[in-house]
Structure formats: C-alpha cells, structure tokens
Amino acid sequence: MALLGDVHTIGTHVWVKDDEESWRKGDVAKLEEGFLVIKAEGGKTVTCKPDEAPIQNPDTRGGVEVRSQRAAPRMLEFELESRLDRT
C-alpha cells in the first residue's frame, strides 16, 4: 500500500463508495492521520482510507484509456457515458 500522500494529494479526483449511487465522484479535501477527507458529489463529505478511494481516470476525450479490468460497474458506466456524450 502506498503511503498517504504518495498517490492521493489534495485535489486528487477519486471514486468513493456510496449506498445510493454505488460510487460517487469526489475530490480529496484533506489528508488526516492515514485517512482521506473527500468532498463528494451531492455535497457529501466522506472519510476513508486511501485504498478505499480509487483514483478517477483522467479526462481522455481526445484519446482512449480503459481500465475496465479493474473498474467497478458505476465507474465503467461513467466512462462509457463520457465517451458517448460528445455534444
């Protein structure tokens, strides 16, 4: 496991588990004693360990990056929606 701050820094875009949505997008707001404080979509604040907050794929509208082998269903759904919505 990476040390706190090696991968996740303030502002890192991550996914967090959510009972309603399965996964929500969020941004790391703080690093606290081995935990991340994440501001998630919908105004939720989530505190979790770094290994519970996978990093979002970068915006690749100009190219293709697929991590479907490891992607949770909501992550994959978001990636597909992003690629198909080219308006």
In a domain, 1, yes or no: no
Question: pTM higher than 0.85 for the full model?
Answer: no
User: Domain containing 34 — which CATH number?
Assistant: 2.30.30.360
In a domain, 21, yes or no: yes
Both tokens of 76, joined, read: 């994959």
- If phi over 0 gives left and psi between -120 and 50 gives alpha, with beta otherwise, what is residue 43? left
pLDDT at 70 over 70: no
The pLDDT of residue 1 is: 40
Report which residue type is found at 85: D
Q: Name the residue range of residue 21's domain.
A: 13-84
pLDDT at 6 over 80: no
DSSP β-ladder status, 45-48 and 35-40: antiparallel
User: What φ, ψ does residue 37 adopt, rounded to 5°?
Assistant: -105, 120
pLDDT at 33 over 60: yes
In a domain, 7, yes or no: no
CA 22, distance to chain mean position in Å, is 12
Beta bridge partners of 13: 27
- The total number of structural domains that make up the chain: 1
Q: If you average pLDDT over residues 32-47, what whole number do you get?
A: 93
Q: When comparing pLDDT for 4 and 73, which is higher?
A: 73
In a domain, 57, yes or no: yes
